[in-house]
Each structure stands twice: as structure tokens, then as C-alpha cells.
Amino acid sequence: MKTAALASEAETKPTVSLVTTGTVSMNYGEASLADLESHISSPDETPVNDVAYYIQDAAGNYLEDVNGNKVNLLYALFLDSADVSSYVDVVYTDEHGQVTKYSGDTDFSTLDQIGSYSVTINAAGKAAMSRVMQDYNAYDTSTSDLDDFVPTFSTGSSDYTFTINIVPVKITATTGKNGLIILRPSQLYTGSLTMLPVVTVKNATKQNILQISNGEIGDAKPGVAGKVGQRVLTLADFTYTYQGTETNLTGADTGKYAITLNDAGRKAVQTALGSNYILDDAAVFTTTGAVQAAGLGLTIANNTVTYNGKPQGTSVAVTTGTAYDHFDFTTTTDTNVGTYDNLTYALADPTQAAILAKNYTVTTTDGTLVITPADLTVTVKDDNAVYDGRAHGTTATVTSGTNYDQLAFTAVAADGSGATTYTTVGTYAMTGTTAADTSNYKISYVNGTLTIDPAKATITVPNRVYWADGTQKNLTAVVTGTVDGETLKYRVTDGMSAVGTKTITATPDADDLVNKNYTISIIPGTLTIGDIAVKYLYEHVDADGQTQVDATETGTATHATDATATDYLTYTTVDKPKTGYALAPNTGLAYNGTLTDQGGTVTYRYLAKTETAIVTYFDQTDNKVIKTEPLQGAYGTTDAYRTADTIAAYENAGYDLVDDDYPTAGVVYDQDGSVQEYQVTLVHKFVTRTPDNPGTPGEPIDPD
């Protein structure tokens, strides 16, 4: 924005007056109001982006120098004066419309923020202009007599006001001043684009004012909004465009990429710059990045395999570098026993082959494949069965080598009896055998053991909660895990009837024959007998802040008696309100709830309400209230206040008591929510004087 300083209508009249011309606009960071002198036209300059005040005589003639240039009175003022800050008043309006006024001895070098500065030549400035013309000729003028050019000024302050605008710096796509530079990044192929370029912004002197490296501000000069260490850019703030002509198979193939700061990135950089520097909307901030091929080392494994009647190969492993893509490497050889050298890798998938060729530099280490005859180890499984009254056996399987011909093996008794199964509890040695042709295999047998273990049974005592009712409560155990309905023999701990908690367990009979067929686990249970008592407390807080108990009562909780009912453990209680008392918050057992343990006491706590009373002292002679005494106390208490002392004081002051309806023992707060009102009625005391009892002039009528 540029604003011209305008002349008033009065100054255009043919009198000695001033006219103005010129405009001033400065870029942020390059100037302040202290640089105003560089924007005041000298006699041999044209006032473009400058301020000039020309002077005329009464005839309308301008004062000119010997070269015919109009003399700038403001230039003469600044040339003559070392410090002109006291000659002007400044009104600054920032970018948000906030207005600040400066006058007097202001350091103009501090006025350097963007916004509009309205500069008005004040009375001191006008006087200084007059002195310059009267006392000092700073110009080589064609007029020897300057008396006709002594300035006179109009009364309007706006006639001597001009505007200086400090505007944001526009940042363009350049490596020079006021430019944004994106350095060229590069990366090795990783299957994704990870190169985040360095962004640098320079000012008018080509100095860095903001540098963002790896998305984080590494350098931030005064005047920018961002702070060092602040993360502002991510990969999403750049647009990556592949520059190759072939298909970009992975989206991150090797080659060159045009990297452009996109709208989100521009917004992030602009936020970091703040309002003093503005990115040029027309500028495109871009650079070029490169993805380079990654090294990948493949090793074809040395491997020895057993004959299987089919073509066999070996494996390919990545031994150096990283495969960022999925590759199904294979090798092929022959079927027969032998040694095979110089194997090579292959990729059956053409897309995988294209990705490997384009994005990796591959080195290969060859391997050797050896095929040998098949060895078989047949192992009888060490098997355990749990007693269930049925016959059990075990299995013989190939545990080493490959059974290419699917030979069938059977587990039999090692004692030669030929038995294959057993029913009773015990431990039995077993070996392997087969009826098939074994001429192509070298077979080794590893014996095993068949063990029939006792079955596992569990005696579980449940956890139960009962209401105390004076009868003994017992727990019944539950047996699980027995075979075909067999019954275990055991004893359960006796229960109890009193409130409390007891662990209930079971003890199996060690001599019982059925029990011997089982490993019996005991899970104890907990028997809980509980009860809920109800207590009612009625309290008040005394004058010392201490809680006092007024009364207590007891009650009972209501609950079901059928232990099989779903709501058996649910209980309810009822409150017992009293006049003048309010129920306090419950901090103990719930008033209504479920019994989950031994229970306890439900307490209803009532606090006495605060009641009020007023004692009014009334002057019946003057028909007016002398005094009111507000009182308060807890419901049910008696106030310590008495009227006697106050009445005595009024009697000493010249009153007589007519009536006092306030209780002599003090007010009792027994009216819930009502204000009790009492009145003490007084009259003026009169003393009759007679000739026989004239009193003493100048002395009180009643000295007492």
C-alpha cells in the first residue's frame, strides 16, 4: 500500500503556504522509520516513493534552486536537524488494526514492524521549518531574499500528515535475495520415498532467515514465527513426480523425481515464516531428487538332501543389503543322487524380475547341492493316557528322514508278546515294526513307553454368602472329572451360624479304591455369614464448631429369606427424618444394596438445620426502630443471647422499658424454617421538676 501526503484547500490559495507530494513504502526487514531521511527528496531528485513539502510565496511562486528544482522544505529541516523525532507525532496501525501512538523522543529505529505509520508534523516541527527558512539557507537558490518564503501553516493537522507503509517481503522461487530454495535430495532405493529436502528462505541480503532440515526448523532468525526444533514439514507436504518414461513399478523406483512444495507444504512454511514474509502465490517452489539402486547380495546355499524321487534344488538367501520387495527366488537341478555346482537364481514372476533389475545392484555367491540316500528313524511315541476304563495304545512314526513311499509302522510290546494295547494303569515298553518292503531305506527304531495315568478329578467347594438367621450354614461340594459316574469318598468341613468368614475344604479318603484311580484336586470355598444393622444419628454443630449428638436410634434392614431366590442377598433400609434435621451425605454402607461380605452398619446421619431469630429494639416515643439484633443457631438449641445488657444500656441513655417479649432463658430454635421475631419496646424517660425540686442548672437531670 502507498499513500500520498495531500495538501489542504487552504494551502492551494495564493498565500504563503505549503504543498505536498510523494509517497513512501518500505519493505519489512530493510528499513524502519529511522530511514525516513532516505525517502525525503533532495533538490535534485524527483519525489518517487519520497515525501516533499514545497513552499510558495503569496503570489504562488515556488521556491526553486539554481537548477530550477522546487526546494523541499522537509529536506531542509532534516538536513539542518540532527534529531527530528520530536518534530513529528506517529500513529502506528498494525496488521490486526491495533493502534499505537508515539510522540516526543521516540527511537525511530524501533519502528520497523509491518503496518501503516501516519506521521504528522507537530507544532515543534512547524516551528523548526520556520527557523530553517529564516536562519539558514541550505540550498543554492535563485532567490536571494527568502523573507517572502517564510512558511505559514494552516490549522488542520491532517494537512501536515503523510503515511509510511512497511509491507511484508514477498518470497519468490529464486536462489537470490528474498527467495526460497529447496536443496536437491537423494536416497537409496527402499521401496518407498523417504527423501525430505532441505528448505531455506533468504532475506534481501541473501542471509538465511529460516531453514528446515528433515522437516524440523534448524535455524530461525528474529522476525519469523517458527522456533528452532519445531517440526513443520513431512513427506506429505511435497509432491513427488517420477521423471522416467517407463512404469514406476513400486512408486519409488530408481530415477529422478520432481519435488514440489504442495499447498499443505506452502501453508506449513508460511505459518513458520509468520506475517512478515509472504510466499509469492505465483511462485512454484520445486527441485529434483534422485533414487539410486540399492545393493543386494544373494547366496545360493550349499545343501545336502535325501533322495525323494523328485527333482530337487536348494535355497536362495539375501546375505547383504535389504530386499525391500517380495521375491520368490528359486533354483532347479536334477532328481538323481549326485553333486551339482554353479547353481543360479531365478524369478518366475516377471514383475518381480523387473523390480529386481531396476532397483537393485545384485551380486551372487554360488552354492552346491548334494543328494544322498534316504535314512529313516522310526520313533515310538512316549504316550500317556488318562485312566478311562478303555484300551490304549501308542504310535510309531518316522521322526528322521523322509518316508517317500509312505511305509506304515505299528507300535507293539517290546517283550515280544505282540500286544498293541493295554487297559489298566501301568507303564509299558513299546517298539516299532512294519510289514512293508524297506529295501530303499536304512531304518533305525527308537523304543517308547505307554503310560496309563490316574484320571484327574476335582472337588470344588463353592463360595457362598448367607444372611445370619441363627441356623448353621453348610457348603456342598461339587465333584467333576470322574469316569462313568464313579463316586469319590470325602468329608467336608463343618459350616457355621455366626457372622463371619470361614474357609471350607474337603478331605478325600486315601484308602478308598475308587479314589486311588484319580489324582484329586481340592478347591476350597469361602462361607460368609453377614448381617446389616441400621443406625440413625441426630446431631448439631455447636458454637465452637464441634459436632454434638442429640439422639440415636436403631433399625433393621429388610431382605429375602429364601437362599435360592435371585434377590436373596438384596437388602433395603428406610430413613427416619425428624423436624429440623436434614439428611447428610452417605459416606458409609449404601442405604440399599447387596450383601457381598460380612456386612456392617448402615448409618443415616441427620444434621440439625440452622434456624434464625430477630430481636427489634423499638423507640415508642419517636415511633422508630433503634436497633435489630439477628440471631441464628442449630435447630433444638437455645441461644445464649439475652436482652438485659442492651436494655440497661438504653436505660442509662435515657429510655424506660415498656415491654420485652424475648424469652428470659433465651430463644429456643424449635420452629423449622421460620424466623422467630421478638420486640423490646422503650420510651423516653421524663423527669418532672418543681420549685421544690428545681435541679441544678448545667448538670444532668439523672447523673446515674
Q: What value does the mean pLDDT take over residues 496-522?
A: 93
Domain boundary among 422, 453, 484: 453
Residue 347 Cα distances to 298, 333, 498, angstroms: 13, 15, 82
- Dihedral angle computed from the Cα positions of residues 261, 267, 272 and 275, in that order, rounded to the nearest 10 degrees: 120
Higher pLDDT, 117 or 49: 117
| Count of the separate structural domains present in the chain | 6
Q: Note the pLDDT tens digit of each residue in 375-421.
A: 899 999 999 998 897 899 999 999 988 898 899 999 999 999 999 99
Burial of 202 per CB tally in 10 Å (0-12, 13-18, 19+): buried
* Domain match, 462 and 318 both: no
Domain boundary among 372, 387, 418: 372
pLDDT at 5 over 90: no
Q: What value does the mean pLDDT take over residues 346-353?
A: 94
pLDDT at 76 over 50: yes
- In a domain? residue 511: yes
Give the position of cell 481340592: 522
Helix, strand and coil percent figures for the chain, each rounded to 5:
10, 40, 45
pLDDT given for residue 145 in this prediction: 60
Q: What value does the mean pLDDT take over residues 307-315?
A: 86
Q: Element (H or E) spanning 559, and its range?
A: strand 558-559
Q: What is the b/e burial string over 528-548, where b = at least 16 CB atoms within 10 angstroms of the residue's CB?
A: bbbbbebebbbbbeeeeeeee
Higher pLDDT, 491 or 405: 491
Least confident of 366-380, 552-566, 648-662: 366-380
Cell of 138: 541550505
* Beta-strand pair 610-619/624-634: antiparallel
Give the angle 84-85-91 at the CA atoms, nearest 5°: 135
- In a domain? residue 690: no
Residue 127 contacts residue 152 (beta carbons within 8 Å)? no
* Domain match, 601 and 680 both: no
Cross-sheet strand order for the sheet of 216-220: 180-182, 199-202, 208-213, 216-220
CATH number for 628: 3.10.20.470
Higher pLDDT, 535 or 72: 535
* Beta-strand pair 599-608/525-541: parallel
Domain boundary among 404, 430, 453: 453
pLDDT given for residue 433 in this prediction: 92
Q: What value does the mean pLDDT take over residues 74-93?
A: 76
Cα distance between residue 454 and residue 434, in whole Å: 32
pLDDT given for residue 237 in this prediction: 97
pLDDT given for residue 123 in this prediction: 82
pLDDT given for residue 11 in this prediction: 39
Domain with 252, as residue range(s), is 170-292
- In a domain? residue 697: no
* Domain match, 18 and 163 both: yes
* Domain match, 214 and 259 both: yes
- In a domain? residue 133: yes
* Domain match, 352 and 383 both: no
Is pTM beyond 0.75 here?
no
pLDDT given for residue 8 in this prediction: 40
* Domain match, 461 and 588 both: yes
Q: Considering only CA atoms, which of 294, 289, 297, 314 is closest in space to residue 355?
A: 294
CB atoms within 10 A of CB 49: 13
Higher pLDDT, 533 or 14: 533
Q: Note the pLDDT tens digit of each residue in 564-602.
A: 999 999 999 999 999 999 999 999 999 999 999 999 999
Residue 240 DSSP label: E
CATH number for 361: 3.10.430
Q: What value does the mean pLDDT take over residues 473-484?
A: 93
Q: Element (H or E) spanning 164, and its range?
A: strand 161-167
Q: Element (H or E) spanning 627, and its range?
A: strand 624-634
Q: What value does the mean pLDDT take over residues 487-508?
A: 95
* Domain match, 267 and 315 both: no
* Domain match, 157 and 215 both: no
* Beta-strand pair 186-188/442-446: unpaired
CA 455 from centre of chain: 57
Cell of 395: 504310535
pLDDT band at 318 (very low <50, low <70, confident <90, very high): very high
CB atoms within 10 A of CB 373: 11
* Domain match, 44 and 101 both: yes
Residue 593 contacts residue 571 (beta carbons within 8 Å)? yes
Contacts of 324 (CB under 8 A, 6+ apart): 189, 190, 191, 192, 294, 359
Residue 43 Cα distances to 19, 52, 212, angstroms: 15, 10, 48
Cα distance between residue 129 and residue 189, in whole Å: 73
CATH number for 425: 2.60.40
pLDDT given for residue 624 in this prediction: 95
Contacts of 371 (CB under 8 A, 6+ apart): 304, 305, 306, 307, 312, 334, 336, 337, 338
Torsional class of 447: left (φ above 0), alpha (ψ -120 to 50), beta (otherwise): beta
Q: Note the pLDDT tens digit of each residue in 246-276.
A: 999 999 999 999 999 999 999 999 999 999 9
Torsional class of 525: left (φ above 0), alpha (ψ -120 to 50), beta (otherwise): beta
| DSSP string across 310-367 | S-----EEEEEE---S---EE----SSSEEE-S---EES-HHHHHHHHHHEEEEEE--
Residue 427 contacts residue 450 (beta carbons within 8 Å)? yes
Higher pLDDT, 151 or 395: 395
pLDDT given for residue 309 in this prediction: 78
pLDDT at 57 over 80: no
pLDDT given for residue 226 in this prediction: 94
Higher pLDDT, 62 or 583: 583
Mean pLDDT for all residues in the chain:
87
Cα distance between residue 305 and residue 314, in whole Å: 9
- In a domain? residue 702: no
* Domain match, 278 and 349 both: no
Residue 530 DSSP label: E
CA dihedral sign of residues 356, 357, 362, 364: positive
- In a domain? residue 367: yes
pLDDT at 4 over 50: no
- In a domain? residue 694: no
Cα distance between residue 42 and residue 537, in whole Å: 98
* Domain match, 238 and 336 both: no
pLDDT given for residue 150 in this prediction: 65
pLDDT band at 2 (very low <50, low <70, confident <90, very high): very low
* Domain match, 324 and 425 both: no
pLDDT at 1 over 50: no
pLDDT band at 144 (very low <50, low <70, confident <90, very high): low
- In a domain? residue 142: yes
Q: Note the pLDDT tens digit of each residue in 121-143.
A: 888 888 887 777 665 454 556 56
Q: Considering only CA atoms, which of 321, 189, 357, 201 is closest in space to residue 257?
A: 189
